[in-house]
């Protein structure tokens, strides 16, 4: 196993009726709270009123930033930073999915910077300070509730950039699966595709001696395959929502990473698609995942596919490894496109090949994506073409 540092300093309140601790947790960091949220779902589901009541009951002062977009824009980061500086905000409270939490992380960092927040994404300025962040998660997908990363879009330059800064790690996350009962079938499916791919990005790895971590990841992937269809059929099934929620956090909180040396592959490719076409991240990943599997399958990588097919999908281990590998790609496609009902091609969602060259160049930074199978610009373009 490779060497690594394991440090996840996020306190988690998991389950129903935990919001009573919100005021006390916010109060540890000061009096002035900036509540950040998205397009209004938290009002429709009655969560906004509960959160505001907790803040008021704790005697804290409330400020708000609403309208954070899915695929959050740098303009929202700048708007939040202005409020933080003007009002001397002490603590940020993000209530929403990955977009709201990601945007709030950069607001916390931009509060200490006087220029355009995009400079942070361009890594022109160091990020060594961030306002404390507490979140109430409303959608199981990105794992932003338990990692220090965030992804921000800039429509003017058609860029979408994701970075990791330890100071942006949430201090406290409230994970109540019942809050996700109202997540639509489509967003539930996209979330499941995202979680599955987070695990696959780590699992499909040619490093050796990861048996313990591989076994944990196999369990996490089986959990998604088992419970995503149940949550779609019965949105208020607590067990299904709880399994999805805790898996989303553990897929990306650093535990399964185990010092992995290879880069991720599907994520950099997907970020270039949503940068231009503003599609849901999980949908882009769903379309890419089976094509990336097909493209990376060869004599060198087949053993990993065999392990995945037998241990995660229950394929008969007596079959030839290459047959298991091919069947596992077919089963992943069926899960994403038939069971979860996601669209299966770029063409179906109105994306043609006109930007493939530029997207491929940006995805690999003009060099090599050093993932499970190293991919150059031409390889990435080939994978994009397979998605048409």
Q: Which residues bind ligand NZQ (CB under 6 A)?
A: 38-42, 45, 70-71, 96-100, 102, 138-139, 141-144, 147, 149-151, 162, 179-180, 182-183, 187, 191, 194, 252, 267, 281-282
Locate 301 and state its tokens: 């990588």
CA distance 91 to 133: 6
| Closer CB to ligand NZQ, 80 or 98, in the complex | 98
- Site mask, Zn ion, residues 308-337, x = CB under 5 A? ------------------------------
Output the smallest distance, CB 283 to Zn ion, in A.
Answer: 11
**Under rule CB under 5 A, residue 147 binds Zn ion:** no
Output the smallest distance, CB 50 to Zn ion, in A.
Answer: 28
Output the smallest distance, CB 59 to ligand NZQ, in A.
Answer: 27
Q: Please list every residue from 156 through 215 that binds Zn ion, using CB under 5 A.
A: 194
Output the smallest distance, CB 190 to ligand NZQ, in A.
Answer: 6
Output the smallest distance, CB 161 to ligand NZQ, in A.
Answer: 10
CA distance 261 to 268: 16
Question: Which option in ligand NZQ, Zn ion, none does residue 245 bind, with CB closer than 5 to 8 A by kind?
Answer: none
CA distance 369 to 380: 9
| Closer CB to Zn ion, 25 or 194, in the complex | 194
CA 379 to chain centre: 24
Count of residues engaged in binding Zn ion, rule: CB under 5 A: 1
- Are the beta carbons of 35 and 95 closer than 8 angstroms? yes
| Closer CB to Zn ion, 90 or 194, in the complex | 194
Q: Which letter, b or e, does each residue of 12-39 get, where b requires 16 or more Cβ atoms within 10 Å of its Cβ?
A: bbeeeeebeebbebbbebeebbbbbbbe
| Closer CB to Zn ion, 194 or 272, in the complex | 194
- Are the beta carbons of 67 and 39 closer than 8 angstroms? yes
Q: 144 CB contacts (<8 Å, ≥6 apart)?
A: 98, 101, 102, 105, 135, 150, 170
Q: Which of 138, 149, 216 is nearest to 179 (CA)?
A: 138
Q: For the CA atoms of 56, 47, 281, 171, what is the dihedral angle to 10 degrees? A: 40
Question: Which option in ligand NZQ, Zn ion, none does residue 103 bind, with CB closer than 5 to 8 A by kind?
Answer: none
**Under rule CB under 5 A, residue 145 binds Zn ion:** no
Q: Please list every residue from 238 through 257 that binds Zn ion, using CB under 5 A.
A: none
Contact positions toward Zn ion, by CB under 5 A? 194
């Amino acid at each position: 196993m490779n060497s690594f540092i394991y440090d996840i300093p996020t306190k988690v309140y998991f389950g129903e009726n935990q919001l009573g601790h919100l005021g006390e947790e916010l109060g540890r960091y000061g009096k002035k709270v900036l509540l950040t949220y998205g397009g209004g779902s938290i009002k429709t589901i009655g969560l906004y009123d509960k959160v505001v009541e907790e803040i008021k009951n704790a005697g804290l002062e409330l400020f708000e930033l609403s309208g954070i977009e899915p695929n959050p824009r740098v303009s929202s980061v700048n708007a939040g930073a202005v409020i933080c500086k003007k009002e001397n905000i002490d603590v940020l409270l993000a209530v929403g999915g990955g977009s709201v939490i990601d945007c709030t992380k950069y607001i916390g960092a931009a509060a200490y910077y006087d220029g355009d927040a995009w400079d942070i994404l361009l890594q022109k300025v160091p990020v060594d300070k961030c306002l404390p962040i507490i979140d109430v998660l409303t959608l199981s997908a990105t794992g932003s509730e338990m990692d220090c990363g965030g992804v921000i879009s800039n429509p003017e330059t058609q860029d979408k950039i994701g970075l990791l800064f330890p100071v942006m790690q949430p201090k406290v996350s409230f994970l109540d699966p019942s809050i996700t009962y109202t997540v639509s079938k489509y967003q539930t499916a996209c979330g499941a595709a995202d979680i599955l791919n987070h695990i696959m990005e780590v699992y499909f790895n040619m490093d050796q001696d990861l048996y313990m971590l591989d076994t944990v990841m196999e369990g996490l992937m089986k959990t998604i395959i088992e419970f995503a269809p149940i949550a779609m059929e019965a949105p208020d099934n607590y067990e299904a929502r709880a399994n999805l929620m805790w898996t989303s956090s553990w897929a990306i909180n650093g535990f399964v990473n185990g010092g992995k040396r290879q880069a991720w592959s599907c994520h950099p490719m997907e970020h270039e698609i949503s940068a231009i076409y503003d599609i849901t991240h999980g949908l882009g990943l769903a379309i890419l995942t089976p094509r990336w599997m097909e493209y990376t399958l060869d004599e060198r990588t087949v053993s990993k596919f065999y392990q995945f097919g037998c241990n995660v999908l229950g394929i008969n281990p007596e079959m030839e490894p290459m047959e298991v590998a091919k069947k596992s790609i077919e089963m992943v496609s069926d899960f994403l496109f038939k069971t979860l009902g996601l669209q299966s091609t770029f063409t179906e969602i109105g994306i043609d090949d006109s930007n493939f060259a530029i997207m491929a160049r940006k995805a690999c930074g003009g060099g090599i994506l050093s993932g499970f199978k190293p991919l150059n610009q031409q390889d990435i373009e080939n994978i994009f073409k397979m998605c048409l």
